[in-house]
Structure 1
Amino acid sequence: MKAILSKLRPSKRLVVILAAAFAVSAASGGAAVYVGRDRLVARLSEPSASGLECTTLRTLKLDHRGQRWIRMHVKTDRAGGPDRVRTALRVVGALAGKEPADLFQVIVLDEAGPEDRAAVRGAAIGAEVLFAPGPRSVKGMNEPFRASYNDGTANPDGMFHGKAVSLGLDEIRAIMARMDDHSLCVDPAAVEVEGAEAPESSEHPAESAEANSGH
């Protein structure tokens, strides 16, 4: 038995080589753990490419002079301007993929913002996106997208008093190309309100939306 054990006993040189290899491997593994952890923390601290979670306040399906318009009011909690507009872009894309319309409009409010439909205007609007799949068919829409957000922080009443920031078409396309989530907002009531005509409808929906936003 002793003879067998003596044969299995590694030489001192082999022990040194194995110890050195193990030390290098352990150090590399430790570095990989820390690098991976740093990357994870950095990734978690980055804003979501698809915006934030949101809640649907109401969805309005409108018949405007033979055209179908869909307007959605949604809410986010303590969101910055870029996150709000990314959320609106995600939702408008998901909405357009769900059902057809000539014009889609998504308006983002703060969680503490107004509940009443008539109050969704001016400083209450944190971000807004208009999307017309065929912009030439909708007066006032020269491009398929219009997107803007208020760069201010919502006050306790859910009002925004910052500057309006508009996104260019190339920027909008780049944002939407990076999205890895294409979901709608959570709709607790799942109620859709049908209307005969938009209260602020006009021959220039983009201008109307901008007026409601205080632009």
Structure 2
Amino acid sequence: MVILAAAFAVSAASGGAAVYVGRDRLVARLSEPSASGLECTALRTLKLDHRGQRWIRMHVKTDSAAGPERVRTALRVVGAFAKKERADLYQVVVLDAAGPEERAAVRGAAIGAEVLFAPGPQSVKGMGEPFRASYNDGTANPDGMFHGKLVSLGLDEVHAIMAKMDDHSLCIDPAAAEAEDAEAAAVSESSEHPAESAEAHGGH
């Protein structure tokens, strides 16, 4: 995890040691409502060429939520994006709605949950398994920072969570929505002035 976080220039350290809880306890905590996580908003998507591999990093935001809900959200989003675009490594980082938006500030206590997914883990250095998933068990302070302990999920817990999901949607993307609105407005304007549009296309 440390190797990959360094490669992404994102530190998953929160100031507390990683806590590995018993399977029964973790499953009980993750069996709460909202099996597919929460609605989220995409902050940015970065597509990187790393030594001939394609890596995709996503930063998303959610409203105040418990750690298990944040990691379920990250797992849903990474699964949905993997179906949409091919990559060697996917990373989804969940931030609080009040958290930082600058790329350089997405590290440490700003990270509420994080998921790494490598379809072929043997080809990605540091990934012995397809998934690495963790969340901060603290609640966000007014600045959107988390100061709890880091809880890491085992591969069996990840599979159990994803098997229960009934929603496989991505986050709301404000930039994409604006682009669609602009395109719709252009089409509408063109349809209102068909003669002018035809003349323009005819080059007269």
Which has more radius of gyration? 1
Of 25, 45, 50, which residue of structure 1 is paired with 2:36?
Answer: 50
In structure 2, the gaps of 5 or more residues are: 1-31, 178-204
Alignment-derived partner of residue 74 in structure 1: 60
Shift of 1:47: 1.9
- SS state of the match for residue 99, structure 2? coil
- SS state of the match for residue 190, structure 1? helix
- SS state of the match for residue 107, structure 1? strand
CA distance in structure 1 between the aligned counterparts of 2:119 and 2:175, rounded to whole angstroms: 28
Deviations 1:160-200 (A, max 9, x none): 00000000000000000000000000000139xxxxxxxxx
Please tell me whether residue 148 in structure 1 is matched to residue 162 in structure 2.
no
Alignment-derived partner of residue 42 in structure 1: none
Please tell me whether residue 169 in structure 1 is matched to residue 155 in structure 2.
yes
With CA pairs under 8 Å and 6+ residues apart, which has the higher RCO, 1 or 2? 2
CA distance in structure 1 between the aligned counterparts of 2:33 and 2:58, rounded to whole angstroms: 23
Divergent runs of 4+, >6 A? none
CA distance in structure 1 between the aligned counterparts of 2:52 and 2:176, rounded to whole angstroms: 26
- SS state of the match for residue 105, structure 1? strand
Of 124, 138, 158, which residue of structure 1 is paired with 2:144?
Answer: 158
Instruction: Give 1:8-19 correspondences, 5 Å limit.
Output: none
CA distance in structure 1 between the aligned counterparts of 2:47 and 2:72, rounded to whole angstroms: 23
Deviations 1:25-61 (A, max 9, x none): xxxxxxxxxxxxxxxxxxxxx5200000000000000
Q: What one-letter code is carried by the residue in structure 2 that aligns with 1:87?
A: T
Alignment-derived partner of residue 121 in structure 1: 107
TM (norm. structure 1) is 0.67
The alignment yields a C-alpha RMSD, in angstroms, of 0.9
CA distance in structure 2 between the aligned counterparts of 1:158 and 1:47, rounded to whole angstroms: 23
Instruction: Give 1:1-215 correspondences, 5 Å limit.
Output: 46-190=32-176
- SS state of the match for residue 104, structure 2? helix
Deviations 1:66-108 (A, max 9, x none): 0000000000001110000000000000000001000000000
CA distance in structure 1 between the aligned counterparts of 2:33 and 2:140, rounded to whole angstroms: 18
CA distance in structure 2 between the aligned counterparts of 1:116 and 1:91, rounded to whole angstroms: 21
Deviations 1:106-165 (A, max 9, x none): 000000000100000000000000000000000000000000000000000000000000
CA distance in structure 2 between the aligned counterparts of 1:57 and 1:133, rounded to whole angstroms: 24
CA distance in structure 1 between the aligned counterparts of 2:66 and 2:42, rounded to whole angstroms: 18
CA distance in structure 2 between the aligned counterparts of 1:66 and 1:106, rounded to whole angstroms: 21
TM (norm. structure 2) is 0.71
- SS state of the match for residue 175, structure 2? coil
Residue identity (%): 87
